[in-house]
Amino acid sequence: MSKPRRCYVHVIFLVMFLVLNLFKDFRSQAQLLPDDEVQTLEQIFSRLNNDYWNTSVDQYSCQTSNGLKIINKLPDPSYSSYSNVTCDCTFNNSTICHITWIELRNLRINAELPIDFADLTYLRTLDLSRNNFKGFIPKQWASLPLVYLSLRGNLITGTIPNEIGNILTLEVLVFQDNNMEGPIPKELGNLVNLKRIWINGVSFSGKIPEFIGNWTKLERLDMQGTSMEGPIPSTISLLTNLRELYLASNSLTGQVSQWLSDTNKKFDISYNNFTGSSQSTN
């Protein structure tokens, strides 16, 4: 072999060596999703049993700015569906990722609500709206640092677990349009960071609890179309940040509070059994 030929071969090997080492270095410094979260996601996907999903998740799945791709195609292109699993990769000097955001909306999922979400201990947003989830809300979810929880438009039954009142980080809570029942547990009075709550279209019973006065950060309260009865508690006047109040189509009674005459608020308390004048604003 001629000398130029030998040099050419050596250069090729040198380049390959450098590329392999760069790749090895990249993998060693990559932002990794812990094995337990990988396994939890795989377990959740298997429980939900959705044929449209790409369930291949590994330690390197978080290395994209667009979140994990967990769905190959939508059930129907004209159907308003959304799928997103997002990581936060700022942990341990940006070498470790954790799942913080899951949205699985309008995906026609027929399954029980997975307890396994409780094992994603950094999860802050969980939106499972407009599917066909059924069964009870797992009390184990109360260990999560959730800020946003929406179960809107499913087939969920049972009562609100008392343990939900332990999620002190909650700012948005949505139980709207489900088959749940029972009174609102007193433990929800602990949710002092709530800003918006929707529990309309659900057969909750009993009176509007006095503890709503604890929700001093609340901006919107939507409790329409339930089986709630009795008067609006006077503690509602403590909600100085409230801008929207919707209590229509219940069995509420008593006088309409002068507090509702505040023109800065949008409210609808029609289709109840109140005595008084204005029962709605535009």
Q: Please give the share of the chain, as a percent, with pLDDT higher than 70.
A: 78
**Shortest CA distance to 67 belongs to which of 31, 102, 105?**
102
pLDDT at 18: 46
Q: What is the C-alpha to C-alpha distance for residues 118 and 140, in angstroms, rounded to an integer?
A: 6
Domain boundaries, the chain: 1-30, 32-275
Tell me if the domain spanning 32-275 has CATH number 3.80.10.10: yes
Instruction: Answer whether 99's CB lies under 8 Å from 85's CB.
Output: yes
- Does residue 265 or residue 252 have the better pLDDT? 252
Q: With bands split at pLDDT 50, 70 and 90, how would you rate the model's confidence at 75?
A: low
Predicted confidence (pLDDT) at residue 11 exceeds the cutoff of 90: no
Predicted confidence (pLDDT) at residue 78 exceeds the cutoff of 60: no
Q: What is the mean pLDDT of the chain?
A: 85
Give tens-digit pLDDT for 113-138: 999 999 999 999 999 999 999 999 99
Q: What is the C-alpha to C-alpha distance for residues 216 and 43, in angstroms, rounded to an integer?
A: 39
Predicted confidence (pLDDT) at residue 76 exceeds the cutoff of 80: no
Please give the structure tokens belonging to residue 67.
Answer: 């979140």
pLDDT at 19: 44
End-to-end CA distance of the chain: 89
- Does residue 262 or residue 198 have the better pLDDT? 198
What secondary structure does DSSP assign to 257-272, as a single string? PGGGG-TT-EEE--SS
Phi, psi of 117, deg, nearest 5: -55, -30
Q: With bands split at pLDDT 50, 70 and 90, how would you rate the model's confidence at 71?
A: low
What secondary structure does DSSP assign to 72-129, as a single string? SS-S-TTS--EEEEEEEEEHHHHTEEEEEEEEEESS--EEEPPGGGGG-TT--EEE--
- Does residue 58 or residue 100 have the better pLDDT? 100
